[in-house]
Amino acid sequence: MTSAISVRLDDEAEKALRTLEATGMSRSEAIRTSLVRAAKAIRRHEELAAEVAALESDDEDRSEMLAVADMMESLRAPG
């Protein structure tokens, strides 16, 4: 089932829509595609934030990371 909506576009959104339409997309296709991509980007950002939080709370992983950093520092040439 599809639904129709109406939106008011500001100048920036109107310019972006014209850019997408210039590629051959219809207005509807451009808006649908943009909405789906924006939602995916938000979900991906949330997934990455959760992954970072999990890694930061993993004391064993943090200890290993610090040990590797110390080893790399010790191998660095002076100066």
- Residues 56 and 59: their CA atoms lie apart, in Å, by 7
The pLDDT tens digits for 41-66 are: 999 999 999 999 998 899 999 899 99
- Residues 29 and 8: their CA atoms lie apart, in Å, by 17
- Ranges of each domain in the chain: 11-75
Provide the pLDDT for residue 32.
95
Question: What is the dihedral sign for C-alpha 53, 54, 57, 59?
Answer: negative
In this structure, what token pair is assigned to residue 20? 């997408």
Provide the pLDDT for residue 24.
97
CB 17 within 8 Å of CB 31: yes
